[in-house]
Amino acid sequence: MEKQQYIERAEQAFYKVYNRFPVVFDRGEGVHLYDTDGQEYLDFGAGIAVMGLGYGCKELKDAMKGQIDKLCHISNLFYNTPAIEAGEKLLKVSGMEKVFFTNSGTEAVEGLLKIAKRYAYDKGMAPDYEIIAMKHSFHGRSMGALSLTGNDHYQEPFAPLVPGIRFADFNDLESVKALWSEKTCAVIMETIQGEGGIYPATEEFLAGVRALCDEHDALLLLDEIQCGMGRSGHMFAWQGYDVKPDAMSVAKALGNGVPVGAFLARGKAAAAMVPGDHGTTYGGNPFVCVAASKVLDLFEEKRIVEHVRKLGAYLWKKLDELVEKYDCLAAHRGKGLIQGLEFTVPVGPLVTHALLEEKLILISAGSNIIRFVPPLVIEEKDVDEMARRLAASIEAVTI
Ligand SMILES: *Cc1c(COP(=O)(O)O)cnc(C)c1O
C-alpha cells in the first residue's frame, strides 16, 4: 500500500492529539529504522529515549519469544519468576529496597505521588500538605503526573488538578526555600530535565534539596524515566551526585520497547504504602518482566554505562564543533547520551528537513532545542554521520 494511504487511514482512525511526521516505519535494526518504502533512517531519538539497546536486539528478542511460549500474564494475585528476577536486578543497580512494576512512566510517577501522600497521612499531617515540583518539568499525562508537570500549556485545559503542588525554579535552591513550609511533605524533580530542554540538576541544588528534605522529614522523589537506565553515564543519573533519593521512577529504556516502568523506594518511603493501597492488573507481568530482566543483564554484559561515557564524550565534542561553526547555535547542555542543542531559532523546520531530506531522526524539546537521546549502543561512525547530516540540515534550513 502507498504511504499516503496509510497516513490517510491513520488520520481517519486515530484520536487527533498528535501532529505526526509523514513517515510510516516498518522495521528496525541496530541504530537504523526502515520505512514502508524501504528507506533507511539514522535514529538519534530512540523512540524518545526508549530503545537503549537499539532495534532488533537478538538476545532480547529470544528471551521475549521464549516467554511468549510459556506465559504472558497471570495477574498480581500470584507470583511469577521473571518479575522476581527483574525486581531484584533493579534493586541491585539502584540501591533501593522495594520495587513496584507499572505499565508506563506516568504510572510510576503516580506511585511516587501516592507514596508522598501516604507518608504525609501517616505522619498525621493535615490534608492540605504540599509537594514542591519544578517549573518546566515533565512527569507524564495522567492527572496526578500532570499536576506535577510545571507547564501551563499542558495543565490549563484540565484544571482543577491535584491540589497542594507548588512550583519552584529548577536549580534555584532559594526558590525551593521560599516555598517551603510546615505543610511540605515531598519534593519531586527530574535529575536531568528532559522535555524542559535537557537541564541537568547542579550538585549544589540537588544536595541542597536533599538537606532540606532531611531537615524537615520530607521525601526526595527523583524522576529518572528519561535520564535513567545508563543514559547519563551512570545507571541512574542521581548516582553521579552525592545524593540518594527516597524514591524514584523508571520507565522508557527499562523494557527497550516493551511497556514497563517501575517505582522504587527505600527506608521510610519503602514502608509508606500497605496492602490495599495500590495495585495494577498488567503491571509486572511475566512478559514485560522477562524483557526488563534481560535488558538489565545486557546492560551489564555489554558494559553499556561505560560505553555511554565514551560515546557521550565523543558526541559532546562533535556537537561543540557545530556550536563553534554555526551562529544559530546558542548553547549545548547535557550528560552522557542525553544532550541538548539550543538554537536561536525554532527547530521545527530543521527537524522536518533532517527527517525527510537527510533521513536523520532528531527530536525537539520545546520550540528551539534539539534533544539527542540516541540508542545507547551507537558508535563513533554513527555520531560522525549524524553530525554530517545535521550540519547539512542546518545549512539548508537556517542559513
Ligand atoms: C516520558 C516521561 C514520563 C512519562 O512516561 P510515559 O511512559 O510517557 O507515561 C515521565 N517523566 C519523564 C521525565 C519522562 O521523560
| 302-325 tens-digit pLDDT | 999 999 999 999 999 999 999 999
Q: How many CA atoms lie within 13 A of 176 on its CB side?
A: 27
Give the atom of ligand 1 at the shortest distance from the alpha carbon of 261.
7
Q: Give the Cα separation of 336 and 345 in Å (integer).
A: 25
Nearest partner of 358 among 329, 397, 318, judged by Cα: 397
Around ligand 1, the residues with Cβ closer than 6 Å are: 104-106, 109, 138-140, 190, 194, 223, 225-226, 251-252
- 2 versus 199: the higher-pLDDT residue is 199
Distance 49 CA to ligand 1 centre (A): 10
pLDDT surpasses 70 at 374: yes
Mutating to test ligand 1, I would choose from 134, 139, 191, 232 the residue with most ligand atoms within 8 A of its C-beta, which is: 139
Give the atom of ligand 1 at the shortest distance from the alpha carbon of 104.
7
pLDDT of residue 399: 62
Mutating to test ligand 1, I would choose from 106, 254, 256 the residue with most ligand atoms within 8 A of its C-beta, which is: 106
pLDDT surpasses 90 at 7: yes
Amino acid at 269: A
What mean pLDDT comes out for the span 127-150?
A: 97
DSSP string across 361-395:
E-EESSSSEEEE---TT--HHHHHHHHHHHHHHHH
pLDDT tens digits, residue range 191-212? Answer: 999 999 999 999 999 999 999 9
pLDDT of residue 8: 96
Predicted TM-score (pTM) of the model is: 0.98
pLDDT of residue 265: 98
Distance 361 CA to ligand 1 centre (A): 20
pLDDT tens digits, residue range 253-294? Answer: 999 999 999 999 999 999 999 999 999 999 999 999 999 999
Q: Is the C-alpha dihedral spanning 9, 24, 370, 147 positive or negative?
A: positive
Q: Give the Cα separation of 350 and 390 in Å (integer).
A: 9
